[in-house]
């Protein structure tokens, strides 16, 4: 069965100006999301995963230059003026942010913030909006929703605030949810609750999700497909099981191996040597070359393209990790 | 037989919250945040004791009590038999030297206006570790110890990456040749690939210098990896303490079980066995009576609502504070 592709991103680049130099935060990123698909975007801090997400919705264009193509239901939304983008942003594509503490307005009650979204994106009347708001709060598991509608964000705990954020994001029944590290600020027990909630709602509403995270465990437990980013580019992409079980890009392998799971306790962990490069001082050739164990001469001079290495899998590497008899290219 | 370095007995600490105007008008008494409610544990020479728990459970408060940043209202801490809060100025400084703390945030825990070299020199001078003319050599030695290049001494903290800053923090702690290191979320702010480097360094140094480490963290995989023993804290109380491998393989307290099963596995097919906790950590302003966990516990009975369970040894396991520890089978 083929489901419809709802978002198609091609060659997305975002550049921020810093003094006289340009910081290329996102470089030539391409991916697509199908209806109901959960796509994970992983990478370390500064790898460009959050900027990618923000660029999709036109949130970066005030500060930087965004180029490429973002097709939403066949329409290029990157070139769309603010006015035309507004019904899509928050309506068809919703976003939740990392910090539930700072992304809610502290001066407005939760009810006002919820009905505001409904007012902008639906044609419900005043009473219907209130009913819908109560329904949404109930849906995300907030006890006693009718009375909580008049509460302010500070009266909620972190986990509850993230639930409110999700309720606001989902109020207009979006087709795609962009979740930027939705659980990073939360404790593990709450994290599990919130991820379960996002997944079950996505399933129920047949909504696509792009989940940005740095936690490979979260990706393993929630996503179907994953894209690994390093220094602004996608370096490996494919179905979660295949990518995590048998990573082909040395960076993905390094990430997997540095997580202490199934290693003898108190032994030396595998670690990727060095640190991620600054975006203003990227090496020529492959950005990972200075830290790579499989590095070859060509890696230092030429940049490997993101190419198919098997069905459904892409990797940007001249000398990918071999898990089988497959020889390096 | 191992020797006990530090003995913490029945530690209790409350922070009063300021009364608001409304409180004063309504004559409500000041409320207190009960951060620690009787924590007892020992640190053995050369071991790593991991401390895990959710945010707000008191794990950082415990760490700060040990280095005397907070003075507890109840109980006490004895270091090699001496009460650390019975102040005698001479021993004070000696204790500060022997028990060193490293902080979570590598961006705010180093003075931005002092170079790495000056930061290390200051530690050496304050404690009179070396005669003045041997100090530069010792700084070089310390940088070498934490695998930083020699030119790092002249650089300011902002010129380093997060991982390198944590190395400076480790070097600063080690400068005064301590016996005990308190690592409060030492690597939590670092990226995974860098985290592994710092953890490896810590393990190597512990071996070389025979250090005792209290490793406070919320990353369970990491705690399992570095610790010999682990203490699970819930609302300012230890609910389970024991050998790291046994505790992680088969946790006995319902809270430990839920906490450990909530950590997402790297294997996409390994799901479904997770125990989902209802609700959230109660506020330490308002600790529930009886077992503090009973409001979220799937096994709670009447006794849990009334009596606080004491930490007691369970055969084949560590010590568990649960009325039903024997019946509660591990779900892993």
Q: Which residues of B touch A222 (CB under 8 A)?
A: 264
ipTM over 0.90: no
pTM: 0.86
Q: Going along chain A, which residue ranges are E strands? A: 5-18, 21-34, 38-42, 64-72, 75-76, 93-96, 176-180, 208-213, 225-230, 233-239, 307-310, 313-315
Give the CA distances from residue A124 to residues A117, A119, A149, A171, A172, in Å, rounded to whole numbers and listed in that order.
11, 7, 18, 12, 11
CB-based contact A216 B192, cutoff 8 Å? yes
pLDDT at B315 (0 to 100): 84
Q: How far apart are CA B299 and CA B320, in angstroms?
A: 15
Residue A276, pLDDT above cutoff 90: no
CB-based contact B268 A220, cutoff 8 Å? yes
Q: How far apart are CA B187 and CA B270, in angstroms?
A: 26
Q: How many residues does chain B have?
A: 332
Pick the residue from chain B with its C-alpha nearest to A226.
B268
Average pLDDT of adjacent 10-residue blocks, chain B of 332 residues: 87 86 82 89 94 88 93 92 79 88 86 94 92 94 91 91 90 94 89 86 93 92 93 94 92 90 83 70 83 90 92 88 81 44
Contact status of A144 with chain B (Cβ, < 8 Å) = no
Minimal C-alpha gap between A7 and chain B (Å): 25
CB-based contact A258 B192, cutoff 8 Å? yes
Model confidence over B111-121: pLDDT tens digits? Answer: 999 999 999 99
CB-based contact B226 A276, cutoff 8 Å? no
Minimal C-alpha gap between A120 and chain B (Å): 32
Q: How far apart are CA A243 and CA A238, in angstroms?
A: 6
Do A37 and A223 touch, CB atoms closer than 8 A? no
Q: How far apart are CA B67 and CA A205, in angstroms?
A: 52
Minimal C-alpha gap between A157 and chain B (Å): 8
Q: Which residues of B touch A199 (CB under 8 A)?
A: none
- The mean pLDDT value of chain B amounts to 88
Q: Which residues of A touch B55 (CB under 8 A)?
A: 187
- The mean pLDDT value of chain A amounts to 89
DSSP code string of B23-67:
HHHTTPPPPEEEEEEEEEEEEETT-EEEEE--TTSSHHHHHHHHT
Q: How far apart are CA A14 and CA A55, in angstroms?
A: 7
pLDDT at B21 (0 to 100): 82
pLDDT at A325 (0 to 100): 36
Model confidence over A90-114: pLDDT tens digits? Answer: 899 999 988 777 889 999 999 999 9
pLDDT at A141 (0 to 100): 85
CB-based contact B192 A44, cutoff 8 Å? yes
Contact status of B55 with chain A (Cβ, < 8 Å) = yes
Query: Phi/psi of residue A185, each to 5°?
Result: -85, 0
Model confidence over A133-187: pLDDT tens digits? Answer: 999 998 888 888 998 999 999 888 888 898 899 999 998 889 999 999 888 878 8
Do B10 and B74 touch, CB atoms closer than 8 A? yes
Q: Which residues of A touch B48 (CB under 8 A)?
A: 266
pLDDT at A208 (0 to 100): 95
Closest Cβ opposite residue B196 in set A196, A216, A258:
A258
Mutate to test the interface with A, among B49, B52, B161, B191 (most CBs of A within 10 A): B191
pLDDT at B231 (0 to 100): 96
Residue A307, pLDDT above cutoff 80: yes
pLDDT at B272 (0 to 100): 54
List of residues 6+ apart from B110 with CB closer than 8 A: B119, B157, B165, B168, B169
CB-based contact B191 A45, cutoff 8 Å? yes
Model confidence over A205-242: pLDDT tens digits? Answer: 899 999 999 889 899 999 999 999 999 999 999 999 99
Residue A38, pLDDT above cutoff 50: yes
Largest CA distance in chain B: 68
Do A237 and A43 touch, CB atoms closer than 8 A? no
Q: How far apart are CA B319 and CA A276, in angstroms?
A: 43
Residue A311, pLDDT above cutoff 50: yes
CB-based contact B221 A272, cutoff 8 Å? no
Q: How far apart are CA B50 and CA B3, in angstroms?
A: 18
Residue A271, pLDDT above cutoff 90: no
């Amino acid at each position: 069965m083929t489901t419809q592709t709802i978002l198609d991103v091609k060659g997305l680049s975002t550049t921020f100006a810093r003094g006289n130099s340009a910081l290329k935060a996102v470089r030539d990123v391409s991916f697509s999301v199908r209806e109901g698909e959960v796509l994970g975007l992983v990478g370390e801090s500064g790898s460009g995963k959050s900027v990618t997400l923000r660029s999709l919705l036109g949130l970066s264009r005030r500060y930087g230059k965004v180029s490429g193509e973002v097709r939403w239901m066949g329409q290029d939304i990157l070139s769309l003026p603010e006015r035309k983008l507004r019904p899509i942003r928050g309506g068809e594509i919703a976003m939740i942010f990392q910090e539930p503490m700072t992304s809610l307005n502290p001066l407005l009650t939760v009810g006002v913030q919820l009905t505001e979204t409904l007012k902008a994106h639906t044609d419900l009347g005043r009473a219907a909006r209130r009913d819908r708001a109560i329904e949404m709060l109930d849906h995300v598991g907030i006890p006693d929703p009718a009375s909580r509608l008049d509460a302010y964000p500070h009266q909620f705990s972190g986990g509850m605030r993230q639930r409110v954020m999700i309720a606001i994001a989902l109020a207009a029944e979006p087709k795609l949810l962009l979740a930027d590290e939705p659980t990073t600020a939360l404790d593990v027990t709450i994290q599990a609750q919130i991820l379960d909630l996002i997944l079950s709602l996505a399933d129920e509403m047949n909504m696509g999700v792009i989940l940005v995270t740095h936690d490979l465990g979260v990706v393993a437990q929630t996503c179907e497909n994953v894209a690994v980013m390093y220094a602004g580019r996608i370096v490996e992409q494919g179905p979660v099981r295949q990518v995590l079980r048998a990573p082909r890009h040395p960076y993905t392998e390094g990430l997997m191996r540095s997580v202490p799971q199934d290693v003898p306790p108190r032994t030396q962990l595998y670690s990727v040597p060095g640190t991620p490069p600054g975006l203003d001082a990227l090496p020529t050739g492959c950005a990972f070359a200075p830290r790579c164990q499989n590095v070859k001469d060509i890696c230092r001079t030429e940049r490997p393209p993101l190419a198919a290495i098997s069905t459904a899998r892409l990797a940007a590497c001249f000398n990918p990790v071999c898990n089988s008899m497959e020889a390096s290219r | 037989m191992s020797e006990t370095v530090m003995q913490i007995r029945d530690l209790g600490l409350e922070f009063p919250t300021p009364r608001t105007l409304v409180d004063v008008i309504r004559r409500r008494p000041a409320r207190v945040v009960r951060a620690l409610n009787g924590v007892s544990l020992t640190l053995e020479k050369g071991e790593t004791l991991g401390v895990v728990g959710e945010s707000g459970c008191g794990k950082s408060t415990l760490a700060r009590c040990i280095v005397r940043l907070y003075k507890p209202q109840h109980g006490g801490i004895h270091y090699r038999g001496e009460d650390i809060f019975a102040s005698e100025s001479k021993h004070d400084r000696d204790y500060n030297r022997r028990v060193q703390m490293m902080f979570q945030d590598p961006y705010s825990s180093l003075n931005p206006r002092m170079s790495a070299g000056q930061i290390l020199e200051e530690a050496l001078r304050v404690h009179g570790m070396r005669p003045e003319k041997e100090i530069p050599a010792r700084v070089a030695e310390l940088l070498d110890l934490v695998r930083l290049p020699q030119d790092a001494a002249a650089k300011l903290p902002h010129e380093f990456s997060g991982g390198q800053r944590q190395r400076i923090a480790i070097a600063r702690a080690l400068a005064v040749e301590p016996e005990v290191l308190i690592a409060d979320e030492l690597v939590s702010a670092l990226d995974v690939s860098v985290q592994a480097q710092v953890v490896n360094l810590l393990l190597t140094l512990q071996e070389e210098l025979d250090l005792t480490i209290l490793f406070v963290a919320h990353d369970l995989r990491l705690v399992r990896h570095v610790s010999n023993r682990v203490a699970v804290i819930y609302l300012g109380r230890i609910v389970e303490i024991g050998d790291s491998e046994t505790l992680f393989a088969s946790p006995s307290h319902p809270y430990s079980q839920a906490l450990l099963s909530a950590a997402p596995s790297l294997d996409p097919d390994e799901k479904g066995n997770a125990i989902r906790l209802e609700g959230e950590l109660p506020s330490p302003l308002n600790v529930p009576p009886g077992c503090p966990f009973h409001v979220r516990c799937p096994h709670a009975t009447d006794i849990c609502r009334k009596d606080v369970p004491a930490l007691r040894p369970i055969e084949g396991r560590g010590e568990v504070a649960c009325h039903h520890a024997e019946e509660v089978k591990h779900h892993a």
